[in-house]
Amino acid sequence: MIDSGLAQISRALADGKVSSTELTQDYLKRIAAENGDLNAYITVCEELALSQAKAADARRSKGEAGDFTGIPIAHKDLFCTQGIRTSCGSRMLDNFIAPYNATVVERFNAAGAVTLGKTNMDEFAMGSSNETSFYGPVKNPWDRSRVPGGSSGGSAAAVAARLCAGATATDTGGSIRQPASFTNITGLKPTYGRVSRWGMVAFASSLDQAGTMTQSAEDAALMLNVMAGLDTRDSTCSDVPAEDYTAALDRPLDGLKIGIPVQHFSEGLEPAVEQAIRDAIAEYEKMGATVREVSLDNSHLSVSAYYVIAPAEASANLSRYDGVRYGYRCDNPVDLEDMYKRTRSEGFGAEVKRRIMVGTYALSAGYYDAYYIKAQKIRRLIKNDFQRAFGEVDVIMGPTSPHTAFPIGSKNDDPVKMYLEDIYTIAVNLAGLPGISVPAGMVNGLPVGLQIVGRDFAEAQLLNVAHKFQQVTDWHTQAPAK
């Protein structure tokens, strides 16, 4: 049963073919066997999971179960979970036990989900390979010498290796979609504000967005049904009403207008990846969609703008980690200044310190206008490009990544190469739009992802478009060898 998707598991639980307790025990056994090598989980919550599973079975026996009751999932380790370590992949928070639940965790608990554990991630979500984690790199289940992508690589690897039925994740510049592409799963980044950020440890507050890692678009719709909706504790959470995201999954695609950004099919895209993406788009044409080229004129500026805005916001958000209130504190500081310096020097990893320094510089007197304000103006131009494109088409499609998963350690000496990993995904975050990556092929035994981008709050349409593709292809059903 643990090889099945979330929707299949939900139906099996409803039909009494399996109990939540049996299912949870099976997942815990698989985690015990595989996680030592994959390193997908930082914390495994065996006692909590079994107690939640028992409670879910009791709910079901009373006829009080919903679609999600008893389904075992995992949470990325930046969602606060009451009484459980929330480390953010950092030494700085290695000893932090969250005193409350994030809204996302609250909503899954209320729905009766089972929490198997907390997944590994790039430190404070800063990275594109899951190699910056204090707990070591996560391995890609398809080839354990390669990265799973980042920063949500632990969630991606856990879903791909069938160590959970689904997982929460976050996306600041591609951190759901890129690892989904590398591991052959479906990764959904909703519209900014669609899902509450309350209780989610912040990296870049105007870009961070919680989303889902699942086997299929149908599974993603079920998870989004739990997560989406207004939260008054989060001032950036939208009051646009949430929908039943499973309701329109089977709607036909006749008349769908697909835009292909010319900038995403240029130099740097591996030919075999391009062919896989073009083959995937051809499947949509068979289903009645029409395809035309669109231009995102300022997309080439997205990486540069992002790496001013995101580090600037990170430098502000991470200023709270000073050894005074919670988290890591250096040993035997001689005075307050020594404690600040040593705590931050010892508690943060190299990539986090690099981004804090870049961000602090961009916000400093004399450089704020030259860098930060200019980057925000570019962000507006990027948003305008998408708005013009959506005046002509319904969705935009292209590759999620220019290549397949790369070897562990191959880009650690060149931060700029690592930053370019998100070249096709960052603009979507800057514009606040929803995007999804779906499995679309294989190149030399490694997965390729198709990125689909929609208008603001068009998650139902995105999931419909993704689901129809998965009804005529079987890429999403393929799993790595055990």
Strand arrangement, sheet containing 290-294: 41-44, 114-119, 72-76, 167-171, 209-214, 186-189, 435-443, 446-453, 395-399, 257-261, 290-294
Of 10, 76, 90, 437, which residue is the catalytic one? 76
* Active-site residue, 417 included: no
Write phi, then psi, for 461 (nearest 5 degrees). Answer: -65, -45
DSSP designation for 188: E
Strands 186-189 and 167-171: unpaired
Both tokens of 181, joined, read 């592409």
* Active-site residue, 129 included: no
Query: Which residue(s) pair with 395 in the sheet?
Result: 258
Secondary structure class of 36 (helix, strand, coil): helix
CA–CA separation, 457 and 295 (whole Å): 22
Of 20, 175, 196, 401, which residue is the catalytic one? 175
> Residue 451 is which amino acid?
Q
Both tokens of 482, joined, read 């055990």
* Active-site residue, 51 included: no
Of 19, 20, 151, 315, which residue is the catalytic one? 151
Q: What is the 3-state secondary structure (H, E, C) of 385-422?
A: HHHHHCCCCCEEEEECCCCCCCECCCCCCCHHHHHHHH
CA–CA separation, 92 and 129 (whole Å): 20
DSSP codes joined into one string, 2-29 = TTS-HHHHHHHHHTTSS-HHHHHHHHHH
Cα torsion 332, 333, 336, 339: sign: negative
Helices (H) and strands (E) in the chain, counts: 15, 11
For the purposes of burial, counting CB atoms within 10 Å of the CB of 16, is it exposed (0-12), middle (13-18) or buried (19 or more)?
exposed
Q: Which active-site residues does the annotation give?
A: 76, 151, 175
